[in-house]
Amino acid sequence: MAERSFAREVQTLRLGAGAEFRGEGILAVTKALLQSGVAYVGGYQGAPISHLMDVLSDAQDILRELGVHFEASASEATAAAMLAASINYPLRGAVTWKSTVGTNVASDALANLASAGVKGGALIIVGEDYGEGASIMQERTHAFAMKSQMWLLDPRPHLPEIVRAVEQGFELSESSHTPVMLMLRIRACHVYGRFMAKDNTRPPFSAADALQSPARDYGRIILPPSTYAQEREKIEQRFPAAVSFVAEQEMNDFSDGEASDIGIVLQGGLYNNVLRALELLDCADSFGTSRIPLYVLNVTYPLLPDEWARFCTGKRAVLVVEEGQPEFIEQAANQMLRQREISARLLGKGLLPRYGEYTVDALRNGIGEFIRQWAPGLRREPAGGVVREAALLPAAQLAKLVPPRPSGLCTGCPERPFFAAMKLLQREMGPLHISADIGCHSFATLPPFNMGNSIMGYGLGAAGASAFHTETARRPVAIMGDGGFWHNGLTSGIGNSVFNRHDGLTVIIDNNYSAATGGQDIPSSRWPNEHRQGNNTIVNAVRGVGVKWVRHIRTYDMAQTMKVLREALTTQFRGPKVIVAEGECQLNRQRRVRPLMKKAIDQGKRVVRERFGVDPDTCTGDHSCIRLSGCPSLTVKPNPDPLRTDPVAHVDDSCVGCGVCGEVAHAAVLCPSFYRAEILYNPSWWDLVLARVRASVIGVLQRRSDRRRLRYMI
């Protein structure tokens, strides 16, 4: 199960030669893989390529028809190791993950793969999660590609260009015997467009063929002396072969402009933003025709000295548009031009920001300053002499209009009551050192919970607390999710704590899915999946590596949660302690339950749906429930009592009936203003009779109360 089904869209993957393919970037990548004769695909979900994994999962019937093997890998390292199949055999393989965190996880396998080289094309599709929409620390893939001598493609965010990059990526990999990285930014993954399709191609050589005739090359083994020869091969053979292929296939793009004495060099992925910035500066039109010459790097590594020389010769100044830091491209370009004694002045960082995403506004300012310094005559001045500027709100002004909206747990999230319980427990026991982790639960580091001292990596919550296991009365607490547990945490966290006899507490939040990446299944998922083996319990896995103190709780039961947490932090038992806190991801539960409920209602069946609310006459306006829970469905509204000014708490229509607000109120001994209501669809005759009786009794009691109130007022 995932947050979005592509069951209908994947049928377009069957389109043949001459048909027009329409869809978003993720689907275009999948179609390009099938057109290229890929033999196997693997990967690990994460923004912005989660949907690529979801598309491949929904397209398994098509993949089987073509003889393509696909699997959702246990981690990025697992996926990268799959590419070993392309070292000795002419098998085209592709893997995908979120970068740079996924690339870091896969680094050992990738470095060995790049050293050994490949016979079949090996393509690594990385979702570059950099900039304003990112959810990770800000780094780029470029450094890793250079470090391991893998070629890096950064195509224009235009479907035909993305498809061409996939197809040529395999060819480049095979011609240079080197794995190739294809970088896709968030917007490129979801851009819509069209291209002319080709026929899907069955892999000419399959894994079954390889198993029938195993091949072995001592020179591809990652051991001395082979590794020394592999390094020499990288420089003397593979690098020149890659440069020749990129040049011969014209993978980079050039465009002329009237201002021939200046130019702009840009990463392909930034093409749309640069063109829009130029349009706002009256230096390009809406169809992509620029008045300034452009050199578009669809291949950002390796760089081609001959192309740089051709573009920069005769120009006074060239602006290098390179996102992120350090400015690898700008530094390399300076060296190439100086060695060839080309006098063009290179500019980049300084005019453009040294860090952060190159949004249209950032590019408009930087390119505008470049034009002002080197080609002021390009700016066309309309009547009155006022140059048109972009109708964009400055960030400071926008901040005044739009309230801050930090990430948070969803409505009904099963993790919310757990962290509310932790918050109440710290009021009782004092502050705790909490080693946080990647996943939905990382949002507990933000208001209203404000807990978590560090985040080190996916599944590394327990490992991040390793240094705090000392002989003191205070025990460290570590948090990890079920996704992180299966990705890395079982060995690096739980196994390590057993081996080193840690005495702390690790809490594993089990919401049944890899929820933060879109709700994909993992080994402990409960629901049937025809392609996967689930129901592998975390409790059994933890006990299997030697943990003796294990407790299993239901997160929505806050009283039991606080009891078990208190026991874990005060018990005389010495050794690692693990609590598996289970509660199904509410988003996935709603995706599963709502269609069934709607179907039952449409069939005339009796259906009961729970809703919670706040009695405005009882609510005191204290708002402790909001401060403790922070559920998005909890808000405020004007107080109905004219004698009180504080707004009262209110549960809006987004409530999913999880009951967390009531649990929080009960556990914190708050006011009894919460109530539970049952919404009944297709009531039976008995339900209707019972409703009339209740209404009559309530009416009698209400009228009596009104008479007493009137008598007291008189």
> DSSP letter at 272?
H
Cα–Cα distance, 14 to 560 (Å, whole number): 53
How much is the pTM? Answer: 0.88
The structural domain count of the chain equals 4
- CATH code of the domain containing 86: 3.40.50.970
Write out 292-323 in H/E/C secondary structure: CCEEEECEEECCCHHHHHHHHCCCCEEEEECC
Give residue 668's pLDDT: 62
182 Rama sector, left if φ>0, alpha if ψ -120 to 50, beta otherwise: beta
- As a whole number, the mean pLDDT across the chain is 89
Shared domain for 479 and 584, answered yes or no, is: yes
417 closest CA partner among 660, 579, 659: 660
Most confident option among 30-39, 414-423, 527-536: 30-39
CB within 8 Å of 706: residues ≥ 6 apart? none
- CATH code of the domain containing 309: 3.40.50.920
Shared domain for 64 and 191, answered yes or no, is: yes
Give residue 712's pLDDT: 58
Shared domain for 573 and 625, answered yes or no, is: no
> DSSP letter at 442?
G
Q: Which domain holds residue 187?
A: 9-200+214-248
Shared domain for 452 and 505, answered yes or no, is: yes
pLDDT at 713 over 60: no
367 closest CA partner among 444, 423, 291, 480: 291
Percent over 90 (pLDDT), the chain: 60
Does any domain span residue 268? yes
What would the pLDDT profile of 427-476 be if each residue is shown by its tens digit? 999 999 999 998 888 989 988 888 999 999 888 999 999 999 887 778 99
Shared domain for 229 and 342, answered yes or no, is: no
- CATH code of the domain containing 613: 3.30.70
Averaged pLDDT for residues 327-343: 94
pLDDT at 24 over 80: yes
Q: In angstroms, how far apart are the furthest CA atoms of the chain?
A: 103
Shared domain for 240 and 315, answered yes or no, is: no
Cα–Cα distance, 442 to 136 (Å, whole number): 11
Give residue 386's pLDDT: 44
Averaged pLDDT for residues 169-175: 97
Averaged pLDDT for residues 620-649: 83
Averaged pLDDT for residues 155-183: 96
Buried b (16+ CB within 10 A) or exposed e, 550-586: bbbbebbbbeebbebbeebbeeeeeebbbbbbbbbbb
258's tokens: 């009237």
Does any domain span residue 599? no
Averaged pLDDT for residues 368-379: 89
Shared domain for 373 and 457, answered yes or no, is: no
Coil, helix or strand at residue 61: helix
Does any domain span residue 672? yes
Shared domain for 615 and 643, answered yes or no, is: yes
